[in-house]
Amino acid sequence: MKIGAVASFMTPLATGEAMLGVARAMDEAGLDSLWLGEHVMLFDEMEFGYPGSPDGKLPIPDGFGIPDQGTVIAWMASATKTLRFGTSISLISQRNPIYTAKEFATLDWLTGGRIDLGVGVGWCKEEVEASGYTWNDRGARTDEALELMTRLWSEPVVHFDGAHFQVRGAKMHPQPSQQPHVPFIIGGYSDAALRRTAKYGNGWLGFGLNPEMTAPMLARLDAKLAEAGRSRKDIEIVMMPMADDEKSCERFAELGVDRLVPMIGTEQVAAPDERIRQLERLAARFA
């Protein structure tokens, strides 16, 4: 089981130099990967609460924000050699898929294939709509975007006639370094998300679960994979755990988790050495 981290980089506390420090230290420690979230806008009032906190509020202090993930990945990748970078997640339902395909193909090309694209439909209705898209069809739009992006990354000339996106005779370069394309790591717990993983995914990403909660989720995923003629051996399981004590980590490994990425909190970004040493010990334990 490989060990990385998901980083809660929030400005202004997380400066550019502090983010570089985290990435360099992880790279030097031989850790697997660093994952970054995405929210382009924040709202005080939301129709649907954030599913990752008991009160439905995003745990982001007033005056803080999340920097653009692609820009930060490029910034950190330029200062590292082997560390992979993932998105946890990219909000595909509120993104233009052509620009997203170009962005991540370029990142993958520049880094020599060190990019994983975490995929989600999003939970914040206000953010989806403010980005210029509709809410109720976000799942279908995400699926169509994944199909279009895959073709832009793998075909010399693309003709695409979808319900949401149309392309005629398009060529996109550079192509990703990874073949057949940048891996899609699909996030989400709904049946639709698990079906999306089974159809399009190179991996499944779980967030905020303990081993007891993870086991039935993986059983559900196995069923969706079987329906699609696939199995767990065809994908990676990436877990952002509720806790990373040794007992929990051992259980995650027993469940077949391939990559465990515990949190590096914003308060740890300025002085991450102790946290990275903890992750380094975990990596040695599960190597």
pLDDT of residue 90: 98
Pairwise CA distance, residues 120 & 90, whole Å: 6
Q: What's the distance, CA 278 to chain centroid?
A: 22
Average pLDDT for 257-275: 91
- The pLDDT mean for the chain works out to 95
- Per residue in 130-181, pLDDT (tens digit) is 999 999 999 999 999 999 999 999 999 999 999 999 999 999 999 999 999 9
**Percentage of residues in the chain with pLDDT exceeding 90?**
89
- Per residue in 90-126, pLDDT (tens digit) is 999 999 999 999 999 999 999 999 999 999 999 999 9
pLDDT of residue 57: 82
What's the pLDDT band for 58 if we cut at 50, 70, 90?
Answer: confident
What are the extents of the domains in the chain?
2-285
H/E stretch holding 28 = helix 16-28
pLDDT of residue 197: 98
Report the top-level CATH class of 2-285.
alpha beta
H/E stretch holding 205 = strand 203-209
The CA R_g of the chain, rounded to the nearest whole Å, is: 18
CA distances from 118 to 6, 122, 226 (A): 12, 12, 22
Backbone angles phi, psi at 86, to 5 degrees: -130, 160
- Indicate left, alpha or beta for 113 from its phi (over 0: left) and psi (-120 to 50: alpha): left
